[in-house]
Structure 1
């Protein structure tokens, strides 16, 4: 991604940040998560450890910091020119490094005691099960199509190979819902290190 495109994406990201009321997990600029705590509006979800998320319950909606991911991928592409699995591993490693700060953020949140589930929608769901997350197909017909279009557009904007990347992996780019109870998330990731 060129410097000009990154500048445009930075502006879009700031607008999106304000529109969605996202909160930064920390101010370091390195964490790949932003969060909004909100009432749940979907059908009942049950995590693998039996925690129920029902309509009206507060939950932590997870958003990946796509502008930061774009920066990471652009820096790596300029540095060594590698792509594909190397880039995926880079992003996944940074996601795992972001977990401890995310756990601490939710523990310290004013509504922390009322938050029992973390939930997000992503293409990056392969391997989520090993991290304790449940993975589920998005409900309905229109919603998955809209989510897929939106996430593919983000991927085009933030990936150095743009449309080429989307075309090459279009059959694998199916967004899914990932979720985990806050208790299980804390047990697995609270004591981890931010960098390591």
Structure 2
């Protein structure tokens, strides 16, 4: 039964043409034209139908590998996510992804995205959101070392949400960090 989730995940990555952000990254992404209702973010950015956005996805295999390796260092997962966002900020800042308005991810972990600078919004209760929840909880059971035991609390109470970040916020938070990190490395190498 769990192989259904693995097959579905492979199919969605192929169908949506998601791309990894780096060899060890935990995010994948795709560019798309937004078709939902207008969304206004806290920084004043409004995303309307027709705007180009970056749709973020977890690379679940890499996420699990990173989580297992991070048992003794729980902050390393956060560091890996920040590194991916720095890579994304670099691509956006250089214009390599065209004119994008914002980033969005749909996940059971949307609230945790606040630590990375995202705004979290619960999805409305719809048939589509119920299917997404079913899929996400199944993926959690497939990839987590404790399987369904770990997924149980999300099956009972978890609800997917959207994690949003404007283009400007991404660049403010992560483009400067990459430049600072690069300067610090080159100065220490001298």
* 1:2-81 correspondence runs (5 A): 14-26=10-22, 29-76=23-70
Match of 2:77 among 81, 85, 91: 91
Partner of 1:187: 172
Bigger RCO (CA 8 Å, 6+ sep): 1
Measured on the aligned residues, the alpha-carbon RMSD in Å equals 2.8
1:146 aligned onto 2:142? no
Q: Tell me the CA shift for residue 110 of structure 1.
A: 4.0
Q: Tell me, what secondary structure is at the counterpart of 2:30?
A: strand
Q: Tell me, what secondary structure is at the counterpart of 1:190?
A: helix
- Structure 1 length normalisation: TM-score? 0.77
* 1:155-174 correspondence runs (5 A): 155-174=140-159
What do residues 52-97 of structure 1 show as CA deviations (whole Å, max 9, x unaligned)?
Answer: 11111111111111110122234456xx7xxxxx76x543332123
Provide the C-alpha distance between the structure 2 equivalents of 1:97 and 1:110, rounded to a whole number of angstroms.
Answer: 18
What do residues 17-44 of structure 1 show as CA deviations (whole Å, max 9, x unaligned)?
Answer: 2221112223xx2111111111111100
Q: Tell me the CA shift for residue 140 of structure 1.
A: 4.4
- Structure 2 length normalisation: TM-score? 0.79
CA 109–30 in structure 1, closer or farther in 2 if over 3 Å, else same: farther
Matched-pair contact (CA < 8 Å) for 2:121–2:162? yes
**Equivalenced residues, count:** 177
Runs of 4+ in 1 over 6 A off after TM superposition: none
Provide the C-alpha distance between the structure 1 equivalents of 2:118 and 2:174, rounded to a whole number of angstroms.
Answer: 12
